[in-house]
Amino acid sequence: MTIFRKPLRVHFSPDKSLHESLRNILGFYPDNIALYKSAFRHSSAATLIKDGIKDSNERLEFLGDSVIGTVVADYLFKKFPFKDEGFLTKMRSKMVSRNQHNNIALKLGLNKLIDANKDRNSHPSSINGDAYEALIGAIYLDKGFDFAKNFMLTRIINVHIDMNEVETKEVDFKSKFIEWVQKEKKEFRFDIVNDGNAAADKQFLLNLIVDDKVIGTAQHFSKKRAEQLCAEHACAELGI
């Protein structure tokens, strides 16, 4: 059995309680506790630093999202050596979805560590998943990529993600896409190129437009299904 010795810095740290909580959740003591405090600081509890920038977890969230995407892509590439790019893209999308990240955060108990204002109802539903992404960013900066990768494989993917469920579960790409455009404050619309009556094959042909640029095209006998396919193409194109 591995014995974790408590570093001296933890004994005398004013953040001893957070050190211990993270040790219980993550399986290790952080080196740079300031990174993890930032990872759990929602923008509603952040203070202004300079030029409109706050000391919130948003920068770490950005970094962690990239680390997670890289680790998941590497994991899938090695786990499914005979699957094509389309399959791998769908699996990655499911594994890094906002809903998946929110669920992982709750399973880890990160919601208990988030520093936010008291009006929780005013916060977006992604607050927990955002904290999870920021946490991975903090681990990467604190311990390095190999450590962060091993943490994700052994403590997240192998424990909290059911790969059989992920493989068989259908994703609502339209909702996923709409969540992204709302977060990014972008305009979008579905343009009908051909409707079921005008088209010779009776299929709807749709374009998905974001900021006046076509980023997804699909056709199907069902308009709703065509919208889902458009959104799926858009998610792959935008790396959502």
Segments making up each domain of the chain, as ranges: 14-168, 173-238
Pick the CATH number of 173-238 from 3.30.160.20, 3.40.50.300, 1.10.1740.10, 3.40.50.1580: 3.30.160.20
213-220 and 188-194 as β-strands: parallel, antiparallel, unpaired?
Answer: unpaired
What b/e readout covers 15-40, taking b as 16+ CB neighbours within 10 angstroms?
A: beebbebbeeeeeebbeebebbbbbb
Could you tell me the strand order of the sheet in which 188-194 lies?
188-194, 204-210, 213-220
Q: For the residues 121-126, what does the mean pLDDT come to?
A: 60
Other beta carbons within 10 angstroms of residue 43's beta carbon come to 15
pLDDT at 136: 97
How far apart are the C-alpha atoms of 228 and 196, rounded to whole Å? 16
pLDDT at residue 120 greater than cutoff 70 = no
Answer whether CATH 3.40.50.720 is correct for domain 14-168: no
pLDDT at residue 1 greater than cutoff 60 = no
Structure token pair of residue 20: 């211990």
Can you list the alpha helix ranges (DSSP code H) found in the chain?
Answer: 8-11, 16-26, 33-39, 58-79, 85-95, 98-108, 127-143, 145-151, 158-160, 163-168, 173-184, 223-238
pLDDT confidence of 61, banded at 50, 70, 90?
Answer: very high
Q: Which of 114, 119, 121 is nearest to 60 (CA)?
A: 114
Q: For the residues 74-101, what does the mean pLDDT come to?
A: 89
- Single out the catalytic residue among 58, 65, 142, 227: 65
Burial class (CB in 10 A: 0-12, 13-18, 19+), 8: exposed
Q: Is 20 a catalytic residue?
A: no
CB 152 within 8 A of CB 71: yes
pLDDT confidence of 157, banded at 50, 70, 90?
Answer: very high
pLDDT tens, residue by residue, 44-56? 876 777 766 777 8
Calculate what percentage of the chain has a pLDDT beyond 90.
33
pLDDT at residue 118 greater than cutoff 80 = no
Q: Which of 22, 25, 29 is nearest to 6 (CA)?
A: 29
Q: Is 65 a catalytic residue?
A: yes
Q: For the residues 159-177, what does the mean pLDDT come to?
A: 85
pLDDT tens, residue by residue, 204-232? 888 999 888 888 888 887 888 888 888 88
pLDDT confidence of 119, banded at 50, 70, 90?
Answer: low
CATH fold match for the domains 14-168 and 173-238: no
Q: Which of 100, 98, 130, 125 is nearest to 113 (CA)?
A: 130
pLDDT at 233: 81
- Single out the catalytic residue among 58, 130, 133, 232: 133
Burial class (CB in 10 A: 0-12, 13-18, 19+), 59: middle
CB 228 within 8 A of CB 206: no
| 51 or 22: which leads in pLDDT | 22
pLDDT at 148: 97
pLDDT at 52: 62
CB 87 within 8 A of CB 80: yes
| 238 or 163: which leads in pLDDT | 163
67 φ/ψ angles, rounded to the nearest 5 degrees? -65, -45
Whole-prediction pTM value? 0.70
pLDDT confidence of 174, banded at 50, 70, 90?
Answer: confident
Q: What angle do CA 142, 40, 117 make, to 5 degrees?
A: 160
Structure token pair of residue 131: 């904290």
